[in-house]
Structure 1
Amino acid sequence: MFKNFCSIALTSVLAVAATSATAQDIVFSGVSPTSDDYQLGVVWSGIAREAGISMTVVENGTVSGMRKAAQGEIDMVGVGAPHYLDAVGGTGKYTDDPEAFRDGYKGMKAILAMPVGMAQYVARTDTGIMSFTDLEGKTVGTGRPGGNAGKVTATLFDIHGIGGKVDGQAIKYGPAMEQMASGTMDATLVWGSLPNAVIDNASRQMDLRFVSPDPKTLKKFRSTISNGDYYVYQKIPAASIETAYEGRVEAKGDAYFWTFPYQVMARGEIDDDTIYNLTKALWENIDKVNAASAGLSLITLESALEAISGDLHPGAMRYYKEIGLL
């Protein structure tokens, strides 16, 4: 069925390739109404309206959103930095996409990067685990069996000098939290945004703290894992943790979660002035964006271009050059 859809879609791609969105009608695609990118779109649409630009926010998921962007059905979409390379190269979840879709992906340009899904390590406070190296000799959940998070976690154990010295358990984080509550597991990896519902619920049953990889290991981390150039250690301010969990998760200092940027991209056909005005409006109102949710509070100008895998949209580039970021 999908191949039939792709064949039919080729005609649609060619039909819309020459069209471009005007400043009056931008369609922003988010993963779901509860996702950080969708929430960004909602706040951004209000800001854009004040700048004279109409932005509609729709729900599509990431892969579907990318395909709709390639066909010109939507104008802006978020995608993980490594996954954008999959789309362009026809790998991963984009293996069966037709060449016309890949041409559409190649034409997309980045506007900014934002943290969305992040790998965060959380431990019971009664275990004495304060730093990543303290995981030595402990039982630690490393994510679902066969998942990439487990492979990355094993790499982190190695570069922190505790490889082979941790009782790593391949387990989903829901059951891992249950084992932590029963005292049979000391810490676990959890994937998600801030706040995370699983951690929030667990914090009502036991005292927790985040355990961070050493920021000084980032260079080695990037050189060791696949597509490492597009991974970052996302800094989570202690104040954000305090706010997100209302004091139930220890926040004596900033935490670091590993992740890859989720880059907001636009079809290359959208005119430079529109993207310039959207970018300018966003950053001039970033306080409003940051105040919308704990997840959106992590969007900063300092990390806006970090580890992006696509080319910048000329309109966004113009703004970043104006303010001296480039």
Structure 2
Amino acid sequence: MTDLYKPRFKTKAFALALMTGTALASAPALAETMRFVTSNTGGTFYPIGVAISQVLSENGISVSAEPGGGNSNPISVSQGDAELGFTFAPSFGMAMAGQEPFPAPLQNIRALGYTHLNYTQIAVTLESEITSIPELAGQPFASQGLSAGSSTFFRIALDAYGMTEDDMDIVVRGGPAQGANMVRDRNAVGFHATSGMPSGTFTEAFQSVPMRLLPIEDDAYATISAEYPTFAQAVIPAGTYPGLSEDVQTISTGAVILVRDDMDEELAYEIVRIIAENTARLAPMHGALTDLTPELMASVAGIPLHPGAERYYTEAGLR
């Protein structure tokens, strides 16, 4: 697995910024309400986590969605600071292998299943006249905080074009909502996120300022997929956001709910069962959940499932 997820960029400060201690805490006793760490409130992990938490709580498993980050959540769950977390499939593999940005291998995390696809979205203003990623060089741009998986994937996209964030003028590191505000105030030409689609933050930004999405083209995708096989080539359709008049090529990857490997098997089984049996309830709660099915949940590949999840999918004939 290490070779599959070996990053092309080297950022020791990035790994250290995530480090909250590498010793794994012993498993906590199950709290009355389980913590589900998601994303900053401007990302799609947070509202989707709220929706899933609501459905689980309605069915007898009390869960509370809280802010988090795609890179920090595996650490939080591994150390017992949260019972559930969201991350991306590539981030899960990096975490288990201890590849940067993760400071040490997290061998005690397991997946419950995919919930939706996430798309790397890089938006710039039309007035900037930027039409490609290389043209971001030297431009004021809003990036994300180090705890966010989006920050890793943005670096991966830049690297495919022979660039780093040092080639740009990064004016802020925060959530996509903060980035969108910087664009609206004309302090940045653009911002990015890897998130579900459509993203409310991007919708609001496109409504406020004429914008476009920058493509991640075939050659760049070939470079990325050679080292990160859990990425897929994807298209953001025209009309996804106000004024987006053409399809835009990008990369996508699955969103994973993760837990510790020592979560009670019956509890893990029930969490997966409740989500799988309530996809129709979840679909209207967020646009990114429209395609949620038990088949999508079970399609996890390249990362280990929790035994409770594996048992549910096997009994349901999905694996």
> If the TM-score is normalised by the length of the shorter chain, which range does it land in?
0.5 to 0.7
Equivalent residues of 2:120, 2:250 under 8 A apart? yes
For 1:295-310, what aligned pairs fall within 5 Å after superposition? 295-297=288-290, 299-305=292-298, 308-310=301-303
The percentage of aligned residue pairs carrying the same residue is 18
For 1:38-187, what aligned pairs fall within 5 Å after superposition? 38-95=46-103, 97=104, 102=105, 105-115=106-116, 118-120=119-121, 140-141=135-136, 149=154, 152=157, 155=160
Among 16, 37, 42, the residue aligned to 2:45: 37
Structure 2: give runs of 5+ residues left out of the alignment: 1-15, 144-150, 171-178
Deviation track 1:279-317 (CA, whole Å, cap 9, x = no partner) reads 121122223323223344464545435564420112222
2:274 matched to 1:281?
yes
Relative to the length of structure 1, the TM-score reads 0.62
2:3 matched to 1:6?
no
**Displacement after TM superposition at 1:69 (Å):** 1.9
1:249 alignment partner in structure 2: 243
2:261 matched to 1:268?
yes
Question: Residue 31 and residue 122 in structure 1: after superposition, are their counterparts in 2 closer, same or farther (change >3 A)?
Answer: closer
**Displacement after TM superposition at 1:258 (Å):** 0.8
2:232 alignment partner in structure 1: 232
Equivalent residues of 1:150, 1:170 under 8 A apart? no
Question: Residue 20 and residue 64 in structure 1: after superposition, are their counterparts in 2 closer, same or farther (change >3 A)?
Answer: same
Residues matched between the structures, number: 275
Secondary structure (helix, strand or coil) at the match of 1:33 reads coil
**Displacement after TM superposition at 1:265 (Å):** 0.5
Counterpart CA distance in 1 for 2:193 and 2:87 is 17
Equivalent residues of 2:233, 2:252 under 8 A apart? yes
Equivalent residues of 2:120, 2:153 under 8 A apart? no
Counterpart CA distance in 1 for 2:159 and 2:70 is 27
- Give the aligned residue type for 2:39: V
Counterpart CA distance in 2 for 1:277 and 1:81 is 22
Deviation track 1:46-77 (CA, whole Å, cap 9, x = no partner) reads 21223222223333434543333223232111
Counterpart CA distance in 1 for 2:155 and 2:69 is 24
Question: Residue 320 and residue 125 in structure 1: after superposition, are their counterparts in 2 closer, same or farther (change >3 A)?
Answer: farther
Superposition CA RMSD, Å: 4.6
Question: Residue 234 and residue 315 in structure 1: after superposition, are their counterparts in 2 closer, same or farther (change >3 A)?
Answer: farther
Equivalent residues of 2:183, 2:191 under 8 A apart? no
For 1:193-204, what aligned pairs fall within 5 Å after superposition? 193=195, 194-195=198-199, 197=201, 200-204=204-208
Equivalent residues of 1:218, 1:232 under 8 A apart? no
- Give the aligned residue type for 1:28: F
Counterpart CA distance in 2 for 1:53 and 1:76 is 12
Equivalent residues of 1:218, 1:233 under 8 A apart? no
- Give the aligned residue type for 1:152: A
Equivalent residues of 1:36, 1:116 under 8 A apart? no
Question: Residue 189 and residue 42 in structure 1: after superposition, are their counterparts in 2 closer, same or farther (change >3 A)?
Answer: closer
Deviation track 1:148-168 (CA, whole Å, cap 9, x = no partner) reads 64663674x8xxxxx9xxxxx
**Displacement after TM superposition at 1:257 (Å):** 3.2
Structure 1: give runs of 5+ residues left out of the alignment: 127-134, 158-162, 164-168
